[in-house]
Amino acid sequence: MDVIQKIGHNEIVERTIPVLITWHYGKSRLCGDFRALDNYTNADRYPIPRIPHAFDKLEKAKYITKMDCMKGFHKNGFKPNSMKLLRIICHMGIYEYTRIPFGIKNAPAHFQRMMETIFQEGISEGWMVVYIDDIST
């Protein structure tokens, strides 16, 4: 599954510069700076759980298991006509995302909604907590 693909040089592209985020443990992630696009995006107001509230739900658990959906955002696609809005330019050429990238306004809310739909039974029975791409049971 390719998350990003190179496109031709003749394409019209808004200037979106990639941002390389590096964590303290050395791992890096390429993100587009889509703040200009966010200004024209209707906000998805789906509620993201507060972390203290999630911990409260797990406080009586005898055992806790935590799973992380690695690259979870990248498992989701979007409408093909949106791809042209999610392009980045760098010294190697022009690229566009083919899957939902990190750094767009509504990605967390979209992913939270999807995860809560998938794990609805465990959440409603109270033995599972979902926080975006982290699952605790």
Q: Which residues fall within 8 angstroms of residue 79, CB to CB, at 6 or more apart?
A: none
Structural contact between residues 118 and 132, judged by C-beta atoms closer than 8 angstroms: no
Q: What gap in Å lies between CA 34 and CA 100, rounded to an integer?
A: 12
- Checking if the pLDDT of 120 tops 90, the result is yes
Q: What is the mean pLDDT of residues 71-75?
A: 75
Sheet holding 87-90, edge to edge: 4-7, 93-97, 87-90
Decide if pLDDT at 117 tops 90: yes
pLDDT digits (tens, 9 = 90+) for 27-68: 877 778 888 888 888 899 999 888 888 778 777 777 788 777
- Which amino acid type is present at position 123? I
Residue 12 has pLDDT above 70, yes or no: no
User: Which residue do the tokens 């998805």 mark?
Assistant: 44
Domain count of the fold of the chain: 1
Check residues 93 and 50 and name the one with the higher pLDDT. 50
pLDDT band at 2 (very low <50, low <70, confident <90, very high): confident
CATH of the domain at 132: 3.10.10
Least confident of 10-19, 35-44, 60-69, 111-120: 10-19
User: Containing domain of residue 46, as a range?
Assistant: 4-136
Q: Which residues of 52-62 are buried (b: 16+ CB within 10 A; e: fewer)?
A: eeeeeeeeeee
pTM equals 0.74
Q: What value, to the nearest 5°, has the Cα angle with vertex 134 and ends 129 and 136? A: 40
